[in-house]
Amino acid sequence: MAQAPRGKPVDVETPRFLVRSMTERDATGLFRAWIGNPELMAALNMPARRLSPNDVARFMASFDDRTRYLVGVFEKQSKALIGLFLLDVNLTHALAKGSGFIGDRNWRGKSVFEEVGSALFDEFFSNRGLEKATAQVWEKNFAALVPLRRLGFKIEGYLRDEIRAFDKSGRRSQFLLGLLPSDRRSFTYDG
């Protein structure tokens, strides 16, 4: 069976960041350290994992810039990777399910999600045919909920005990959030 063609990589810029599709060369030790960080992965309800170079290569190859995007957030001056966005796109329904995190704790709480998310969703709504974006967020993950709401995401549902906690501490409830083009709020960084 022939593999579907790759799509156009993401490449947008904001006042402080370069936002682009990740490549295997971007999957440095820092990237692997984030995946291995229990605190960071806990917010995503995922176990921390140690990835070999081969694991990283397989993981990176699973993103095709058509239906699956792994988008890096790079600080403009230093070119340092500070965070990631993952988008799974259902082309039939022009719908994307997104998640992400700011791995560099020096950038947390500095409106990175708002600035990058605004540019990223502008790109997907204006140039890639997206008609709706969604996110499912643990009810206690305020680091994700607050910026998503600032971008215009609306709470569309509350999923009681939706998923098992990876650490076997019980079940976690989640908010289901949605963003339509008409909901978007632009974010401009004032410096």
Q: Is residue 41 part of a domain?
A: yes
Q: Is residue 6 part of a domain?
A: no
Count of domains observed in the chain: 1
pLDDT score for 4: 63
Q: Is residue 170 part of a domain?
A: yes
Q: Is residue 155 part of a domain?
A: yes
Find, among 37, 47, 119, 126, the residue nearest to 85 by Cα.
119
What lies within 8 Å, CB to CB, of 20 at 6+ separation is 9, 10, 11, 12, 71, 72, 74
CATH of the domain at 42: 3.40.630.30
pLDDT score for 85: 92
Residue 163 binned pLDDT confidence (cut-offs 50, 70, 90)? confident
pLDDT score for 189: 67
Please say whether the beta carbons of 10 and 21 come within 8 A: yes
Residue 11 binned pLDDT confidence (cut-offs 50, 70, 90)? very high
Please say whether the beta carbons of 32 and 26 come within 8 A: no
What lies within 8 Å, CB to CB, of 70 at 6+ separation is 21, 22, 60, 63, 84, 85, 86
pLDDT score for 191: 63
**pLDDT, tens digit, for every residue of 19-61?**
999 988 877 777 778 888 887 777 777 778 887 878 888 888 8
Q: Is residue 5 part of a domain?
A: no
pLDDT score for 32: 79
pLDDT score for 15: 94
pLDDT score for 3: 59
Q: Is residue 131 part of a domain?
A: yes
Q: What is the pTM of this model?
A: 0.87
**pLDDT over threshold 80, residue 188:** no
Q: Is residue 3 part of a domain?
A: no
Which residue has better confidence, 6 or 176?
Answer: 176
**pLDDT, tens digit, for every residue of 129-151?**
999 999 999 898 888 899 999 99
Q: Is residue 166 part of a domain?
A: yes
Among 11-15, 97-101, 166-170, where is mean pLDDT lowest?
A: 166-170
Structural domain of residue 26, as residue ranges?
A: 11-183
